[in-house]
Amino acid sequence: MTASSGSCSGLADDVRNCVGFSVSELYLGVRNKSGNLRDLIHHSPSHRQTAMYVSSTDPWHRSVDRDATLEQPGLDMVFQGNLTRNLPVLIPVPMLYDVPENAAAEVRYLLARGRQLDGIEAGEEPDGQYVEAEDYGALYLQWTAAIRSVDTQSKLGGPSMSALNEDVQSWMNSFLNYLERTQHLRDYEFFSFEWYPFDNACSPAAANLARAPSTLAGALLQLRRDERLRVLPWLMTEYGYSAQGGASQVRMESALFNAETMAQFLLLGGQRTYLYGYEPGRLKRDAPCAWGGHMLLQLSHTGRGLYPLASYHSARLLTKEWIQPPLTSRITCRRHRQTSRTVWEINWLALTPCAALTINGRSC
């Protein structure tokens, strides 16, 4: 497919109705000596056909497309609330399902409103959406050019990888190679990723918490072997016990995991962590073993009451009690001799005492 048919799905006076492709069926296979195609795809009118993944880069909407059941906070609401604490904000711009002009428009709007930006994260989870590193790299250059036309100061980076494993290591190597070949490596200014290490939310929580420190340390060590990544700031732009909304997400296990992950990542050289789940929610059953969810606050059945969960109290303890800006703090890690537990110490340089957080981990 190298050119659109030019046929229109709606009014011909709007060019957006007359571009793109409409695919009825796909066939993929090899031709035999007679030239006949041996189709490898299983075709069926039901969902039992061969799995296919499609995407759209259509960024425009109509008033009739509005979903009244979905609520999304606007940019101004986020900046005007207490979430930012009057500090510069790392903002995301969509990439795989959008166009660079929209990204530039978002940044231009925020700067015109006097909003302070700490950085711009381009795209999300390209590895989880089967996007080739070189294709993401080509898009990244387009987004960089568009954003730099309106903002020359904010740092640009990404790509908010959905995991840290050997596949991601290979993906990032290909992406950085692409930037080097096109002489744009300098335009990549920070590396971001998400951290949800336990795919099975029903697995034993005690064993998971015990191996969590070594899992994170090992994943970071593998990626840091690349000098091009090692010299960049590292941002954990989402984290949680599991990507599934299991029971551990709303119990003490999540509170312990969140606290230790934040402390360990900073100790290992990470620059910032961004906890996922600030918006209130209701219990749902993503995992077969129990109900749960990604949230600090649980909504009541009426939607008017809020119930703080363990992860809320953990986050409040970290941000309000143990780390008290603008005092300078230092995080250290040691092992308790008798219990072999991991102890994180947060020492305020302006204060005499220190706070200690003990986790049943096996290594610092």
**What is the total residue count of the chain?**
364
User: Which of 161-175, 271-285, 323-337 is predicted with the least confidence, judged by mean pLDDT?
Assistant: 323-337
User: Which of 44-58, 143-157, 164-178 is predicted with the least confidence, judged by mean pLDDT?
Assistant: 44-58
**pLDDT at residue 352, as a whole number:** 32
- Return the ∠ at Cα 39 (arms to 38 and 42), rounded to 5°: 145
Contact 151, 114 (CB under 8 A): no
Among the ranges 21-25, 54-58, 295-299, which has the highest mean pLDDT value?
A: 295-299
Domain holding 125: CATH number? 3.20.20.80
Domain, as residue range, for 132: 75-323
Among 162, 102, 158, 100, smallest CA distance to 130 is for 162
Is 314 in a helix, a strand, or coil? helix
Task: Specify whether 161 is located in the same domain as 102.
Answer: yes
Helix, strand, coil % in the chain, rounded to nearest 5: 35, 20, 50
- pLDDT exceeds cutoff 80 at 348: no
Task: Specify whether 162 is located in the same domain as 243.
Answer: yes
User: Is 340 inside any structural domain?
Assistant: no
Residue-by-residue DSSP string for 222-246: HHTTSHHHHTS-EEEEEE-S-SS--
Could you give phi then psi for residue 330, rounded to 5 degrees? Answer: -135, 130
**pLDDT at residue 187, as a whole number:** 97
Task: Specify whether 7 is located in the same domain as 133.
Answer: no
- pLDDT exceeds cutoff 90 at 21: no
Task: Specify whether 97 is located in the same domain as 31.
Answer: no
d(CA 292, CA 151): 41
Task: Specify whether 118 is located in the same domain as 7.
Answer: no
Task: Specify whether 47 is located in the same domain as 82.
Answer: no
Task: Specify whether 166 is located in the same domain as 278.
Answer: yes
**pLDDT at residue 342, as a whole number:** 57
Average pLDDT over residues 325-338: 55
Is 273 in a helix, a strand, or coil? strand
User: Is 178 inside any structural domain?
Assistant: yes
Contact 333, 342 (CB under 8 A): yes
Is 345 in a helix, a strand, or coil? strand
**pLDDT at residue 162, as a whole number:** 92
**How does pLDDT run across 281-295, given as a tens digit for each residue?**
888 888 788 888 889
Contact 246, 288 (CB under 8 A): no
Distant-in-sequence, close-in-space partners of 199: CB < 8 Å, separation ≥ 6: 242, 243, 244
Task: Specify whether 29 is located in the same domain as 80.
Answer: no
Q: Which stretch of DSSP H or E encloses residue 195?
A: strand 191-195
Task: Specify whether 283 is located in the same domain as 198.
Answer: yes
**pLDDT at residue 261, as a whole number:** 94
| Cα distances (Å, whole numbers) of residue 198 to 208, 282, 353 | 7, 21, 35
Task: Give the sign of the dihedral formed by CA 317, CA 280, CA 158, CA 51.
Answer: positive
- pLDDT exceeds cutoff 50 at 264: yes
Say what the alpha-carbon torsion angle 66, 71, 76, 78 is, to the nearest 10 degrees. Answer: -160
Task: Specify whether 242 is located in the same domain as 279.
Answer: yes
Could you give phi then psi for residue 195, rounded to 5 degrees? Answer: -135, 100
**How does pLDDT run across 123-169, given as a tens digit for each residue?**
999 988 888 999 999 999 999 999 999 999 999 999 999 988 888 99
- pLDDT exceeds cutoff 80 at 22: no
Task: Specify whether 93 is located in the same domain as 223.
Answer: yes
Model's pTM, two decimal places? Answer: 0.80
Average pLDDT over residues 263-284: 90
Task: Specify whether 164 is located in the same domain as 199.
Answer: yes
DSSP letter at 41? S
- pLDDT exceeds cutoff 60 at 356: no
- pLDDT exceeds cutoff 60 at 228: yes
Is 145 in a helix, a strand, or coil? helix
Average pLDDT over residues 190-215: 93
The partner residues of 272 in beta bridges, in order of sequence, read 235
**pLDDT at residue 55, as a whole number:** 60
Domains in the chain, number: 2
Average pLDDT over residues 22-36: 87
d(CA 290, CA 309): 16
